[in-house]
Amino acid sequence: MSTQIHGHEVMQMMIESGRSFTRISLKTAIEERLGEDARYFTCSAENLTPDELIDFLAARGKFVEPGEGLTTAPDRICHHG
C-alpha cells in the first residue's frame, strides 16, 4: 500500500525551498522528497498521483505563477480541521 500524504505537505515543501518550480521540476522534487510510490490527498480529493495533485492545486488557485514558475504562499494553504 502506498503512503498517503496531504497536499499541504507539498505546498509547505515548496515554501521552505524558497524557489519556483516548473510542473516537471515540482513533480521531480515531490518524488525525490516524498517517494515515487506516494499518493496524495487534499480536503476534497484522495489517492492522487503527483501530476494529479499539481493539476488539482493549480485548478484551485493554490499556486502563484510569477512568470518564472510555480510557487505558493502560506495564505494559499487552508487551515481547517
- Write down the residue that cell numbers 503527483 correspond to: 50
Percent share of the chain, pLDDT over 90: 67
Please say if the pLDDT value at position 81 is more than 90.
no
| Half-sphere exposure in the Cβ direction for 55 (13 Å, CA) | 6
Q: What is the pLDDT of residue 71?
A: 85
Is 70 exceeded by the pLDDT of residue 26? yes
The arithmetic mean of pLDDT across residues 14-37, rounded, is 94
Q: Which three cell numbers stand for residue 58?
A: 493549480
Q: CB neighbours of 7 closer than 8 A, spacing ≥ 6?
A: 40, 41, 42, 48, 53, 56, 57, 62
- Is 3.40.50.2300 the CATH number for 4-76? no
Q: What is the pLDDT of residue 8?
A: 93
pLDDT of 19 over the 80 cut: yes
Residue 1: the pLDDT is 54
Q: pLDDT band at residue 79, thresholds of 50, 70 and 90?
A: low
